[in-house]
Amino acid sequence: MQPSAPRYSERLTAPRSWWLVTALVGISGALVTLPLGTLPMLGGLIGATALAGALVSSYGSARIRVVAGSLVAGDARIPASALGTPEVLDPEEARAWRSHKADPRAFMLLRSYVPTAVRIEVTDPADPTPYVYLSTRHPQELVAALTAVQTA
C-alpha cells in the first residue's frame, strides 16, 4: 500500500430521515409563499429546499480518515505517534462518553445518529486535549487502521 493511500475513510452522512425533513421544509416554504402567487410559491419551494439541503449536506460531510501516519477527523489532523491505544465504544458506552463522562477539553467529532464510537487517549504531553472521541459506524475497522499505522 502506498504511504499516502488512506487506510481508512468514512463520511458521517446524515440519515435518510433528515432528507425527508428537507423535502418537508421545501413544501413549507412553498405553502408560506402560496398567497403571493404561483411564481413566488415555486421560488419558496426551491429556495427552502435548497437551503435545508445545504444545511443537511454540510452537517453530514464530516470525514474520518487514517492517512499518511495521521488521523484526520473533521478539521483536525493528529499524528498517530501522539495517540494512545484506541478503544471501541458500544452504543451504551458511547452515550456515556458524549454526556456525563465527557471532558470539555476533549476533541469530539460526534454525530448523535451514529450509535458507536472510538475513544483514543492523546499521549502528547504538550497537548492539553485528554482524548479524541469519534462517532463511527465501523469502530473495529477504524481501530484496526489506527493500530496498523501506530505499529508501522
What string of H, E and C letters represents the secondary structure of 107-138?
Answer: EEECCCCCCCEEEEEECCCCCCCCEEEEECCC
- Residue 25 neighbours by CB under 8 Å, 6+ apart: 48, 49, 51, 52
pLDDT tens-digit series, residues 9-55: 999 999 999 999 999 999 999 999 999 999 999 999 999 999 999 99
Give the global pTM: 0.83
The single residue listed with the C-alpha cell 495517540 is 83
User: What distance lies between CA 42 and its chain's CA centroid?
Assistant: 33
Strand residue runs (E) in the chain: 8-11, 63-67, 70-73, 76-79, 83-89, 107-109, 117-122, 131-135
CA dist., res. 78 & res. 71, Å (int): 5
CA atoms within 13 A on the CB side of 90: 1
The residue assigned the cell 404561483 is 38
Share of the chain above pLDDT 70, in %: 97
pLDDT score at 150: 87
